[in-house]
Chains A and B, each alone.
Chain A
Amino acid sequence: MAYATLAEDLKELHHPKTWVGKYVWSQDHKVIAVQYMITAIAIGMVALVLSDLMRMQIGFPGSLGFITPEKYYQFITIHGMIMVIYLLTALLLGGFGNFLIPLMLGARDMVFPFVNMLSYWVYLLSVLVLVASFFAPGGPTGAGWTLYPPQAILPGTPGRDWGIILMLASLAIFIVAFTMGGLNYVTTVLQARTRGMTLMRMPLSVWGIFVATILALLAFPALFVASVMMMLDRLLGTSFFMPSLVSQGQHLGYNGGSPILFQHLFWFFGHPEVYIVALPAFGIVSDLLSTHARKNIFGYRMMVWAIVIIGGLSFAVWAHHMYVSGMNPYFGFFFATSTLIIAVPTAIKVYNWVLTLWRGNIHFTVPMLFAIGFIFTFINGGLTGLFLGNVSVDVPLSGTYFVVAHFHMVMGVSPILVIFGAIYHWYPKITGRMWNDRLGKIHFWFTFIGTYLIYFPMHYLGLLGMPRRYYEYGHTAFIPDSAHMLNAFITVIALGVGASQLIFFYNMISSYFYGPKAPGNPWRATTLEWQTPTTPAPHGNWGPKLPVVYRWAYDYSVPGAPEDFIPQNVPAQGTDRHHKT
């Protein structure tokens, strides 16, 4: 049996005795999870402020005098980089991966707790190196988050002296950190599941995180080598990505490199990265919907296979980011086809979420509101992906605000809604306290409606033909004044959405101190993390004996059962009709 050795529970955990051992140099996956979450959200706040600053420049050009073109390009670059890598990836895998995997699988901890601890501290180092670039001479890099060479390392791009070096170093350090965490997640899922927890009984949250971690372990190395190669180009004058060129009148010594090679490496990482963020969100939202609709997830096996198939296909679609890059145009036929095929399993997931609501008993709790909000924004963002994935349709839209709107809707707003839902959902288990319901709902409405008002109209600026990454548009004949007014409107909403996040922080922090004590299983959920002996769960999670699993994760509203949920560790009762897995 795959789970035999570790689930035998022979190894004793070393319990730390000091405060520092418990909360700083902690090897407890739950503490590491919280460390990851707080760090990711803190650096995410920096990115949020940067986005508001750049929106001020777009909506009201010149209103903030200190935003020079140089600063503007630095802001957009660091905003994108933080949001994609240091917030979303770190929060979903480092944060929720750490918290949920051992608890949902009935393990005492990750398989390698010490490596897990190192993973967090190395991640923190990568964040600090990134932040350091703000204080370096010339500031952070302004090459755009895609860091395309040659411009990323040439004069004429902000942060060319120090910023780009620190950026590349930070990415490399992040990947080292992630690899330590990622190997842990995969090993734990494969080796440390408790008795009875077969792979096909795992909650979809774990499936999503598990497959995303495998993707990340395979995709990040491409970014790692690309970072190292660009660093060599910048520091040692190698020519991996640099052809011979004349930079601002100067003949440089580079010769024979290929800028497009970098794009292939970057997007070979970059497209799976979309699913590294999306798959955990898919998994988590499935569990939120099922729990709060009091109904089993519809088509569990199909959902698992869809996650696996999407993960596999995600490695065969990367060049849809490069249709107009100058690569051989015949690649377009292949990548358009593979990209549109990936829409089929993705659509199945959407159907199954909606069919989970169908004939459910829907409780409109705060986590549920966020989950439903996710379905709506994800449908929107997924469908616009069918424009951009379909090679010739992409040609007029590439590099415009249509792209900006699409990827913010699909991998900005959608996963963020899931993350908020997940934080509200698991907060009682993490802290032992309940948050304020009214504030949670206000936060939801501001965030959900606000982000939709920002990104839905933005698509049409892209259709009009407004290119992204413009410091200002000046007078351009085909851009009417109304488009600039729309940009001002979007900026106002964006500032409002940004400010409304203070409600969230107030709610989370004050509830931690003053919130009412939470019961162990406030949502009456079936999965193991809600069945811990105490809340918050102690170090080692389960007290003297590990739980034993008898059923799948979705026995809600089983006919004949006394309650509308049967936890996974409850043996068969004779009356209940549990799903055969």
Chain B
Amino acid sequence: MSKARDSIEDLKTIDANFAAKAPLATPSFTGNATITSGNLVIGTNGKGIDFSANADSSATGASTTSELLDDYEEGTWTPALKFDGNNVSMVFSSRQGYYTKIGNLVTANCYFALSDKGSSNGAASIFGLPFTNSNVSLNYSAMSIVFNGMSFADMVVGYITPNETQVRLREVTNAGAHTALVQSNFSNSMDMMMTISYRA
């Protein structure tokens, strides 16, 4: 009986030691690993998939700042056209925005249509982006755009500057002169779709 009791106590000790060390385990696989059901869950903020083993050859002038894929998210946002930050009495007949964030790169697209452009005036911007553009030097991004019901000369452009959540809308003449689009450039029934990728 004594030996049996000792064996049980030994097993309890081994089990306790194993349990204590288990969280420190670092599994390593050779070949593919497949999760047949469920997700791979990253349980700690800032952790992800490390690609640093890849022997990439950098193009001239490029430098690597991170090889850790540490974020993914998709969802919706609500675009808002504003003039100098306001849109008094503006009526949207429809509007919807979608985004996908992979690492620190956000791609946001949207569509909106007006039935009344309201009474606000000033420089036109699209507000409501889902993330703040990161505040690093020269972090500018440009958008692509298609629209109806706008007058301009000779080309419409848009961009986001560091530390902001608005896309500034501008017109550029063939001679290269930049000015802000303002309320008079927009009709009451205009509509617009746009996409922008930027670094959050």
Whether A associates with B in a native complex is no
